[in-house]
Structure formats: C-alpha cells, structure tokens
Copies of this chain bind each other. A is one copy, B any other.
Amino acid sequence: MATIYDVAKLAGVSPKTVSRVINGDAPVNSKTRETVELAIAELNYVPSKAARSMRSQRSGLIGLITGAISSTSAGEPAGLPDIHIVQGAQRVLADNGMTVLISDTGDKPERVSKLVQTLLEHRVEGLIYVAEFHQKLQLPILAKGFPLVLANCFDDLGTAAVLPDDKNGQYELTKGLIEKGHSRIGFLTVPESILARELRLDGYKQALNEYGIAYDPELVITAALSDDAHEFDLLWDSIDRLLNTPIKPTVICCANDKMAMRVYGLLRERGIRLPEQMSLTGYDNYRVICDHLHPTLTSAELPYEAIGARAAEKLLAMIKAGKQPIETSVDLVSGPVIWRESVTAEDSSVLQFKSTRRSEK
C-alpha cells in the first residue's frame, strides 16, 4: 500500500507538502497541489489511520459491545432484537465521522473484559455497551472517567445510561384502549424477574386510574416467556382464566409481540374471531410480526433505534467534554403506540353509554 513518501517522491515534493494537500491546513501553490493530487490518484494512495492516530492521539473509533450478534441462537429474550440499538448508534456515530468497532460476547459474559481490552488496544475513544433487554448489570470497571454509555441497561455506579420508557409505553397503550371504548383490559405480563414488568404494570394502572376504572387483579396474569412446550400450556391456561372472569375482557394486552402471535393462534383455535370478538395488543412493535400478522397487530414501540442513537449522542458529548466531567444521567426514551387492525374502536353510542355510566358513579 502506497505511503505519503511514495506520493511525495512521484510528485517531486516533500511528504509534508503532500500532507498539506490532503488536509488543506496550509496554503499550497495550486500547480503543486495538482501534481500531488495526480500522484495520489495514480498510486491509489489512502492515508493510514494508524499513523495518523499515533500522532493525533485520536483513533476515530468507538467500541460497541453487544450480545446481540449471537443472541438469536440461544435462549432468546422476548423483546426486539437489540441489533436495532446498534443500528441507531452506528448511524449517529458514522454521521460524526466515527467508525464503529463491534465485538460480541457470544453470550459469554465473562468474555467482556477481554473484549474491552481489545477495544482499548485499538484506542477507542469511547464505549457503548448494549444489553439484550432492559436490565441492571455490573460491568468490569474501566479506567475512571473513560467515556462509557450503557444502552438498554444501567448500573449502581451512576454510569450514563439510556433506557426505554416502559411505563410510559404501556400507559399510552392502555390510555388509547380506554379512549377507544375498552374498559375490561386483560394484561398478560412477563415474570417478576423481568424489570419491565413492574414499569409496564405501573403504566397500565396509571391509565386505568386516570379514567376512573378500578384495577382488577384478576385481569392481570403472569405468562411465561420461554418457548418450550410446558410454558406454552401455561399460556393456554392464562387465556382460559382471562376468558372465564365474570366479565370477559374486550381486549388482551400481551407482554410482547411474540406472545401476541401465539395468542392469535390460541384464540382462533377456540373459534374466537379477531378482532371482532377480541382485540389484542403487543409490545415492541416488532415489525415483522406486527405488519404481517392478520389482522395486523397494534403495538407499543420499543424504541431501540432511538435508544442507540441517543446513547451515541451522549457518548459523543462525553468525549467532547473530555476531562471536564459531564454530569452523567439516565435517559428514558419513549416510543409511540402504533395502532393497527387488531384493536376495534367501539362506536360512539357505546362510548356515550360508558361515559354516562362513569358519571353515574
């Protein structure tokens, strides 16, 4: 590969002059510039970042650690694939002239510190750690003050983090359902081990509360996440319980789109027409599922792309601030609810009836 010396030789100038042409940081005679540019083209010269970053002490690299790239093979979490977070981060970073170095844990958390080491060898200017689902964790400690942003996760040490606003998502979803005339709203949640559970439940309750609808614990059922047959039976039972409550729900909120996809099949097997006899919602806005299920599935978006983008922006700000410590913070990112065919809107008469009833209370 050609070097700046080769170019200089061919153009009959000093390497420094070539450098000036490339960087445009000092005046160069236009005739000289032309000769140099010709030589560059002739030799297919591309400057070496390694040499540059040695002088400048800036690599232009950002390290991104994720399990995303291997996660789909193993026990996959229920949500959207976190690759969308990588997507968002990569876009923002590329727009700012940074190149992204990815490394993947391969689902072996103990590898993280070795990956970090490799990234530091490349002198990344900052790190983003992407978790597969909203969780709390503890990374091996880096040098103090090294720019690090956690995406989709957070820790105890006050490290900068960007998280999905799960409470708000379920709140907006529930609120929308109520405004469309639903008041018996079934809720299939995930197990307690999942952080999002409580947050979403809070959003659900808040919406009910604002509209004066009493919270009925019978309508909230914990459904399992995992994919094996046993859990599948449990989901079946959960639905039975919902359908057998004194006043049947008119809509079921599923903890995520995958669960909703199963519920489509289960409900139809017992002859229930969708959405006429039962409305359904998911969570994640997993496009492949939501757009292609029939009827298409209403879902609250898990704003992964935006989380990635925000994490990147935060990181860039931290890098820019340099030594001056920016106060780190935890950002919540909200996503919209995407209304699709799986939810019926009851007609105005019903709404009227309902509001009447409410005022009767």
Q: Which residues of A contact B (CB under 8 A)?
A: 1, 44, 46-51, 53-54, 59, 69-70, 72-73, 76, 81, 83-84, 86-87, 90-91, 94, 99-104, 106, 117-123, 143, 227, 258, 261-262, 264-266, 268-269, 286-289, 291-295, 305
CB <8 Å contact, B44 and A48:
no
Rounded to whole angstroms, the CA-CA distance of A269 and B83 in the bound complex is 34
Q: Which residues in B have their C-beta under 8 angstroms from that of A100? A: 101-103
Taking A47-B121, A265-B294 as given, write out 17 further A-B residue pairs in contact, using a Cβ cutoff of 8 Å, ordered by the A residue number: A46-B120, A46-B121, A48-B54, A48-B123, A49-B121, A50-B50, A50-B54, A51-B54, A69-B91, A70-B87, A72-B287, A76-B287, A227-B292, A262-B294, A265-B293, A286-B288, A289-B289
Rounded to whole angstroms, the CA-CA distance of A295 and B72 in the bound complex is 21
CB <8 Å contact, A1 and B86:
no
* A83 nearest in chain B by CB position: B83
CB <8 Å contact, A262 and B84:
no
Q: Which residues in B have their C-beta under 8 angstroms from that of A305? A: 73
Rounded to whole angstroms, the CA-CA distance of A268 and B264 in the bound complex is 11
Other-chain contact of A295, B50, B76, B122, B265 (Cβ < 8 Å): B265
CB <8 Å contact, A48 and B121:
yes
Which 3 A-B residue pairs are closest in the complex by CB-CB distance? Answer: A265-B294, A50-B50, A46-B120
* A227 nearest in chain B by CB position: B291
Rounded to whole angstroms, the CA-CA distance of A269 and B273 in the bound complex is 8
* A122 nearest in chain B by CB position: B49
Other-chain contact of A289, B86, B104, B266, B288 (Cβ < 8 Å): B288
How close is A252's CB to chain B, nearest CB, in angstroms? 15
Q: A69-B87, A72-B84, A294-B265 are contacts. A123–B50 as well, Cβ < 8 Å?
A: yes
Listed A/B pairs (26) with beta-carbon separation below 8 Å:
A46-B117, A46-B121, A48-B121, A49-B122, A49-B123, A54-B54, A69-B87, A70-B91, A72-B84, A72-B87, A72-B287, A76-B287, A83-B83, A90-B103, A91-B104, A91-B106, A99-B103, A99-B122, A100-B102, A102-B102, A261-B294, A262-B292, A262-B293, A262-B294, A264-B265, A289-B289
Q: A46-B121, A69-B87 are contacts. A269–B289 as well, Cβ < 8 Å?
A: no
